[in-house]
Amino acid sequence: MTALPPPGPRGDTPLTRRALGRGAMGLGVLGAAPARASEGATILAPGPEDGDCARWAVRAGQALARGMQRPGTIRLALLGGPDGVTAANRFATLDGAGGPSLLALPGWACHARLTGSPRARFEPRAWVPLLLSWRGAVLAGRGPLPGRGGAPLRVAMPSAEVPEAAALAALDLLGLPALPLVGMPEASFAAGGADALIILGPEPLTRAQAMGATPWYGFPGLAETERAELAPFPLAAPLARAVVAAVAALQIRAALVAPVLSPADSLAAWRMAAPRWQEEERATAGDDQPLVGTSAAEAFALLTPPPDAVLDYRNWLDRRLGWRAG
């Protein structure tokens, strides 16, 4: 993938302390043309400056500034760590006093909320996704999908509270015996220590085959041609919807969101500019699929399953992996 440019020099118009507090790392001016506050915005993004989400936010802000019908200034403010929880919490408290604001939100932040982390004190349903970077996903393993009476499948995950645990929950839902082990999924699979995992990529079926894995089930977001080749993961149980939400946290590299109650003219201007970002992202031939409009909204909605699914997932983490938030 083409490397993203680092954030630009720190600007001379900081956000108010009331809005960002002392944790703000600074502002980078992304759009050079001056404009009224209502025609631009400040993007709040997780740090560090050279982190993946910060670089993604710079790229998105630059594309939005170029896509605005009237010149607009897009600024960047960095706050918190790469999981995005601190930035999301602060974004949820902004009152608009510093002008229109957007949030660069990694999918991981919403997974922290799914697990019940006391750190996650935001509500994603209060935000409108303008654009996001998306990857396909499949549940895959070594050889054909085994029967229920076979040997337990080994599933690697760094820890219980990460989205990769969804692979184990998926096997439980399918009625297949499975054992969790500590490790990175792809590395463990390549070394022969794991038997099943979630595989991500622009063409996850091709990537699975290149890894020597057999795709078993697909998750939302697969291309139409791939959907015809692979059965979708069954969604009958509430826990299954939570599994899809956990996988979506891996699929969404980052989303740019606005408050539902944003000024109507600002929201309209950002939506009209979003296709410019999509065109530029497609031109880079990157690994992620750029989504805007209805497609972005549908993908973002996967991160927020219904309450019964959330409760089932938290109970599953406690019962299966002995992990409970806070």
Task: Give the model confidence (pLDDT) of 12-61 as tens digits.
Answer: 233 333 333 333 333 444 443 333 434 578 999 999 999 999 999 999 99
Q: Is the pTM of this model over 0.95?
A: no
Query: Under 8 Å CB-to-CB from 98, ≥6 apart: which residues?
Result: 15, 16, 18, 19, 20, 42
Residue 326 confidence (pLDDT):
78
Sites in the chain below the pLDDT cut of 70: 1-39, 97, 222-228, 285
Return the HEC string of the chain: CCCCCCCCCECCCCCCHHHHHHHCCCEEECCCCCCCHHHCEEEEECCCCCCHHHHHHHHHHHHHHHHCCCCCCEEEEECCCCCCHHHHHHHHHCCCCCCCEEEEECHHHHHHHHHCCCCCCCCHHHEEEEEEEECEEEEEECCCCCCCCCCCEEEEECCCCCHHHHHHHHHHHCCCCEEEEECCHHHHHHCCCCCEEEEEECCHHHHHHHCCCEEEEECCCCCHHHHHHCCECCCCCHHHHHHHHHHHHHHEEEEEEEECCCCHHHHHHHHHHHHHHHHHHHHCCCCCEEEEHHHHHHHHHCCCCCHHHHHHHHHHHHHHHCCCCC
